């Protein structure tokens, strides 16, 4: 640099650290989050899903910060690739039973395909909803599915 006058003081990072010392306090201990969210199974990426409630949780996981203190939450693992790359096989997703889904949200749909058959679930994007009909969409391959008469809940990424 060129110019007249006194040089500017060094930036803080370049100054000697002779007056720096450790604070006389202990940092807070990092708590291990409670594993209090039940994992209820898997939700298939394809129709005719793999998810079935079998009377209880198979495992418990820690809830993400966005769901701390929230009731009516459970987890499920994604199975299949129809929602890749957003929901990949093996990804853990959280379902918030009390949060109303919006158009475009990922939802977990539970359907019963026969009177004696089990409830099955799959994960898709919500396109439209009516009283008893849902229109959902998958990513891979792109497809829209309608006329689904089922219960459904919003899914949350962790």
**What CATH number does the domain containing 48 carry?**
2.10.109.10
Q: Is 90 helix (H, G, I), strand (E, B) or coil?
A: coil
The answer as to whether 4 is a domain residue is no
**What is the average pLDDT value for the chain, to the nearest integer?**
78
Domain residues for the domain of 129 are 34-157
pLDDT tens figures, 16-33: 556 777 777 777 667 777
Residue 57 within any structural domain of the chain: yes
Residue 67, in any domain of the structure: yes
pLDDT tens-place string over residues 31-72:
777 899 999 887 776 655 555 555 556 789 999 988 988 999
Phi/psi for 66 (5° steps) reads: -65, -15
The string of pLDDT tens digits covering residues 109-156 is: 877 777 787 777 889 999 998 877 889 999 999 999 875 555 555 555
Instruction: Please indicate, yes or no, if residue 106 is contained in any of the structural domains.
Output: yes
| Per-residue pLDDT at 158 | 35
Q: Residue 157's pLDDT is what?
A: 47
- State the burial class of residue 67 (Cβ atoms within 10 Å of its Cβ: 0-12, 13-18, 19+): middle
């Amino acid at each position: 640099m060129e110019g007249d006058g006194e040089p500017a003081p060094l930036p803080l990072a370049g100054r000697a650290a002779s007056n720096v010392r450790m604070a006389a306090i202990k940092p807070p201990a990092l708590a291990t989050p409670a594993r209090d969210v039940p994992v209820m199974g898997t939700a298939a990426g394809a129709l005719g899903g793999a998810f079935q409630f079998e009377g209880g949780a198979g495992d418990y996981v820690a809830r993400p910060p966005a769901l701390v203190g929230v009731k009516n939450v459970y987890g499920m693992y994604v199975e299949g690739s129809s929602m890749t790359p957003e929901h990949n096989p093996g990804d853990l997703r959280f379902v918030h039973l009390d949060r109303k889904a919006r158009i475009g949200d990922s939802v977990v749909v539970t359907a019963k395909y026969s009177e004696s058959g089990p409830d099955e679930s799959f994960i898709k994007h919500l396109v439209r909803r009516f009283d008893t009909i849902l229109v959902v969409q998958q990513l891979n391959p792109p497809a829209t599915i309608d006329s689904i008469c089922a219960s459904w809940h919003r899914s949350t990424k962790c």
